[in-house]
Chain A
Amino acid sequence: MSDIGKVRLRIPSPIKPGDVVQVRSLVIHPMERIERDAQGKIIQKNYNYINKVTVTYLGKTVAVFDTTQSVAENPFFSFTFKATDPGQLKVEFLDTTGGRYEGTADIKFS
């Protein structure tokens, strides 16, 4: 469980200015599913799952994923962004227990 919140970003290289780059991101997270009791009734509790993923590039929001419990464990998301200037790409994951996990990558042109 200690791996919760580990974020991995994979960015292709090399990148040229103006390229539309497809990034793959992964976070280690249990994404708890709804549990039911013996009668099949839903157990009401605060399930721990990621409900928001925000991608920012050069301080601007590029994509936001609002997610539900129908997303798989250790969720993987991919998205694109247009690389215009060197700078930081940040992917931030928020879960329902207030957890905040982020991964960053420096975008450089070769």
Chain B
Amino acid sequence: MGEPAGERGVRRGTIVTEGGRVSRRTALIALSALGVAAAGGLAAMPGTAQAQALGQNESVDEALKRLFGGKPMKDGAASVKLEVPLIAENGAVVPVSVSVDSPMTPTNYVKHIYVVADKNRIPVVTRVTLAPEAGRAFMGANIRLGESGDVRAIVEQSDGSLLVVKREVKVTVGGCGG
């Protein structure tokens, strides 16, 4: 267990606590406490961090509960535009883009855009953190889809409210292996 493992542990820990809406300080205190608790110090940290990583093998309900803790989500169809193909012939590369109507001013902007693929073994695909300097709330990426199912875009605004949009994608050939 050298330094890189420790570093990675701390970074992952920070990432997750943002999603869990715990302050960075609390998270760091918690992490250091863990380190102390494990007599070996760093020895226990990589495992712990692994367990808290953004992407895990879990069901989509577990993932949403872990990320948002059951906070109410509003239907965002009016302001959130999720672009995915209706039929993806190759699940290994599926282009997805999300754009949100938002003024993107320092007081009212889109903080996070999450892309969640319900049927994937690792349902959380990506979390995008945006700054007002982005000018427009937009993200695009190529993702993998294991099988046909819903793809959701979950938008977290700077006031903490959540908007969700989902679309079904039919996948001809799955892209997650196994």
Q: Is the CB of A63 within 8 A of B134?
A: yes
Instruction: Tell me which of B8, B124, B141 has the highest count of chain A C-beta atoms within 10 A of its own C-beta.
Output: B141
Contact with A along B118-131 (1 / 0, CB 8 A): 00111111111111
Contact with A along B48-61 (1 / 0, CB 8 A): 00000111010000
Contact of A81 among B95, B120, B121, B133 (CB under 8 A): B133
Q: Which of A30-53 contact B (CB under 8 A)?
A: 33-36, 40, 42, 51-52
- Taken together as a complex, chains A and B put the C-alpha atoms of A38 and B125 apart, in Å, by 26
Stretch at the interface among B29-37, B74-82, B170-178: B170-178
Contact of A34 among B53, B117, B125, B177 (CB under 8 A): B177
Q: Is the CB of B134 within 8 A of A78?
A: no
Q: How many residues of A contact B (CB 8 A)?
A: 38
Chain A residues with CB below 8 A from B136, complex form: 20, 22, 80, 82
Query: Contact residues of A with B, CB < 8 Å?
Result: 20-22, 24, 33-36, 40, 42, 51-52, 57, 60-82, 96, 98
Q: Is the CB of A70 within 8 A of B143?
A: yes
Instruction: Tell me which of B97, B144, B177 has the highest count of chain A C-beta atoms within 10 A of its own C-beta.
Output: B144
User: In this assembly, does B139 line the interface, its C-beta being within 8 Å of a C-beta of chain A?
Assistant: yes
- Taken together as a complex, chains A and B put the C-alpha atoms of A52 and B14 apart, in Å, by 13
